[in-house]
């Protein structure tokens, strides 16, 4: 249940620019999160780790009642390429796989797909020559790719010889 009167329509003015910024969440109908307070830790049925809400190794919900966590449908497919040394517990990219399991795939960097169609992929990563998303024709790509790691790891991944190097880049 959503009580919209409880959701602030965040809108603020920055002192420096005097431009009005609207919260990116103001258009969303966000449900109550009260259910999260009632979900206890439990051992993941697959790997036995004691976790709350989801297992960040198996990337599955754990001990969440059916329907308690919404499953999202994204407007585009998303691949997350994760540095092997990025700690799963620290990664916030993995939440995308939990919330939109049918649209998101997570790959270890060394096991990333070969991607025969790199020209149809858009790597979201700040780089020289990367265009703003608003400047990129949305029909020019079928899938977004993001890198998950520390800035140092991500920089190394983006410059190493891999399909990431051949993707067009947006920021
Ligand atoms: Zn697990």
Q: What tens digit of pLDDT does each residue of 86-102 get?
A: 888 888 899 999 999 99
Centre of ligand 1 to C-alpha 108, Å, is 16
Give the pLDDT band (50/70/90) at residue 30. Answer: confident
CA-nearest of 142, 20, 147 to 76 is 142
Query: Quick check: 15 pLDDT over 80?
Result: no
Alpha carbon distance 150, 82 (integer Å): 10
Helix or strand run (H / E) with residue 105: strand 104-108
How far does the centroid of ligand 1 lie from the alpha carbon of residue 12, in Å? 41
Pairing of strands 11-13, 20-22: antiparallel
Q: Give distance in angstroms: CA of 8 to centre of ligand 1.
A: 36
- Ligand 1 centre to CA of 74 (Å) is 24
- Residues in the 5 Å CB sphere of ion ligand 1: 44, 46-47, 55, 57-58
Beta-carbon neighbour count of residue 46 at 10 Å? 12
What average pLDDT score do residues 13-27 get?
Answer: 65
Residue 59 Cα to ligand 1 midpoint, Å, equals 7
Q: How far apart are CA 60 and CA 49, in angstroms?
A: 12
CA of 112 to the centre of ligand 1 (A): 21
Average pLDDT over residues 17-38: 80
The pTM of this model reads: 0.80
- Above 60 in pLDDT, residue 13? no
Q: Name the residue ranges covered by the structural domains of the chain.
A: 70-171
- Residue 61 alpha carbon to ligand 1 centre in Å: 9
Who contacts 29 (Cβ-Cβ below 8 Å, separation ≥6)? 2, 4
CA of 2 to the centre of ligand 1 (A): 31
Across the chain, mean pLDDT equals: 87
């Amino acid at each position: 249940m959503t009580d919209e009167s409880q959701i602030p329509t965040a809108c603020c003015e920055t002192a420096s620019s005097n431009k009005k910024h609207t919260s990116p969440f103001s258009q969303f109908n966000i449900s109550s999160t009260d259910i999260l307070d009632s979900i206890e830790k439990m051992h993941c049925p697959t790997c036995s780790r004691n976790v709350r809400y989801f297992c960040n190794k198996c990337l599955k919900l754990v001990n969440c009642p059916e329907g308690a966590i919404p499953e999202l449908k994204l407007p585009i497919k998303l691949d997350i390429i994760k540095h092997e040394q990025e700690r799963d517990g620290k990664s916030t990219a993995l939440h995308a796989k939990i919330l939109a399991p049918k649209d998101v795939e997570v790959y270890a960097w060394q096991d990333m797909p070969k991607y025969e169609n790199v020209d149809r992929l858009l790597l979201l990563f700040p780089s020289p020559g990367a265009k703003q998303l608003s400047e990129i024709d949305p029909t020019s790509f079928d899938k977004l790719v993001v890198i998950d790691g520390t800035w140092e790891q991500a920089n190394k991944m983006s410059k190493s010889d891999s399909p990431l190097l051949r993707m067009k880049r947006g920021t």
